Amino acid sequence: MSAGLLALIPASWLLLGPYPVDGYEDTGIRRLERLRLRLAGKLSGPVPPLGARKLTQDIHLWLTGADLAFETLPSPDPTLQKDIAAVFAGRDEAYSIAILDLTPGRPPRFGSLRPTRIYQPGSVAKLAVAAGLFTELQRLFPESTEARRRLLRERLVIADEWIRTDPHPVPFFDLNTGQAQSRPIREGDVFSLYEWIDHMLAPSSNAAASTVFKEVLLMRAFGGAYPPSREREIQYFKETPAREIVELAHSVANDPLRKLGISEDDFKLGQFFTGAPNRRFPPLYSSGATPLGPMTYLIRLEQGRVVDAWSSLELKRLLYQTERRIRYASAPRLAPYAVFFKSGSLYECRPEPGFTCQPYQGNKANYMNSVAVVERPDGAVYLVVLMSNVPRKNSSVEHQTLATYIDAVIPPPAAGLPGPPE
């Protein structure tokens, strides 16, 4: 790789995927039927780790009680603060973390380290697009969650120039033949909106993220006339001034974050995820996030407040990792755990004698961000946001290693404590 190249580069073995494995009937996401058939022994191929085999009915929100509807983070817990400091003792100061222990039966415990440091969020910013999408769905169908789900299942979107150019492979599965493959999205590929979201959050396809972002724009622009015809869509983007499109994009992606109580300093999305729309509609500012922004997002998700309870639960299901796990989520210690996860990376290299640029080891910038809800078989539950920008370190391996140490500071619940909410 030449020096100075900004990279968001996966390899084909990095494919992972969310939503419970029994979710095909509800969502029409074909990849899930592939997983179900593999688990049933009817199709060959890798099966999900033990922690990734929850069913749809097993996914819960943890903060829906009136006594857990807190607006601000709890004061730092001295013991958790001490434990976190020990984990990061001797490590680079370019690590930041926020962690919230939500284990039922004990008060929430918060801890952090450099929680206000600002990072380039990378693909973690796709959470903003997801919140924007569910916001517009609620705007279109305020009284009917079934109508929202029907639109997600039945709205077919054709890949166009907005996907240019993204090397992230996504899964393809033919329901009739049982044939599966993975490859980057090409212009002309067709997926349901549910599948586009799955591609955005699962293998973290930038092409899918820009496409979903475009659909959110169209939902806001056309309102009750959404979806427009392909001809009307083209006309809209051709005739609307670029500045107006950019301002609308900022609104649909960031207004939902502000509604969650997240400040612009703590989480903002400034641009699309692929080059083609960014060149056509130049962004007004860059994306940025501190650990506090995504942490507040996770808290509102667990409170059922990312739009509403239905949207929050559906989004949590979409974040459930049901295939090969990567980075933080790939720690072997977490294999038996349910992990709801989004990661983002961005590395940049510059000329340096004796240095060879490697993925996730940039010497100029080396951002790696992990956002997770972890649910253990012993009943412990915690939220964690880990952000870093440590040059030359293999940040993917670092986050995997840190996941093990971080999990060790969360004690198991006492015997007989309550389980998940109904």
pTM recorded for the entire structure? 0.93
Two tokens, residue 324: 């090969």
Q: What is the pLDDT of residue 14?
A: 31
Instruction: Return the amino acid letter for 318.
Output: L
Distance of alpha carbon 253 from alpha carbon 125, whole angstroms: 9
86/78 Cα distance (integer angstroms): 12
E strand or H helix at 366: strand 365-375
Question: What pLDDT is attached to residue 1?
Answer: 33
Cα 193 to Cα 29, 157, 216: the distances in Å are 9, 7, 11
Cα Rg of the chain (Å, integer): 21
Locate the domains of the chain by residue range. 12-408
Is residue 206 within 8 A of residue 166, CB to CB? The reply is yes
| Cβ burial 220-249 (10 Å sphere, 16+ → b, else e) | bbeeeebbeeeeebeeebeeeeeeebbebb
Other beta carbons within 10 Å of 20: 25
Q: Per the omega criterion (within 30 degrees of 0), is the bond before 103 cis?
A: no
| Level-2 CATH architecture, domain 12-408 | 3-Layer(aba) Sandwich (3.40)
Q: What is the DSSP letter of 241?
A: -
In Å, how far from its chain's centre is CA 28?
Answer: 20
Other Cβ atoms less than 10 A from the Cβ of 363: the count is 18
Q: Where are the alpha helices (DSSP H) in 169-308?
A: 193-201, 206-222, 230-239, 242-259, 275-280, 292-302
Q: What is the pLDDT along the chain (422 residues), one digit of tens a residue?
A: 333 333 332 322 233 446 788 899 999 999 999 999 999 999 998 888 899 999 999 999 999 988 899 999 999 999 999 999 999 999 999 999 999 999 999 999 999 999 999 999 999 999 999 999 999 999 999 999 999 999 999 999 999 999 999 999 999 999 999 999 999 999 999 999 999 999 999 899 999 999 999 999 999 999 999 999 999 999 999 999 999 999 999 999 999 999 999 999 999 999 999 999 999 999 999 999 999 999 999 999 999 999 999 999 999 999 998 878 999 999 999 999 999 999 999 999 999 999 999 999 999 999 999 999 999 999 999 999 999 999 999 999 999 999 999 999 999 998 755 555 55
Taking phi over 0 as left and psi of -120 to 50 as alpha, with beta for the rest, 392 belongs to left
b/e map 390-402, b = 16+ CB within 10 Å: bbebbbbebbbeb
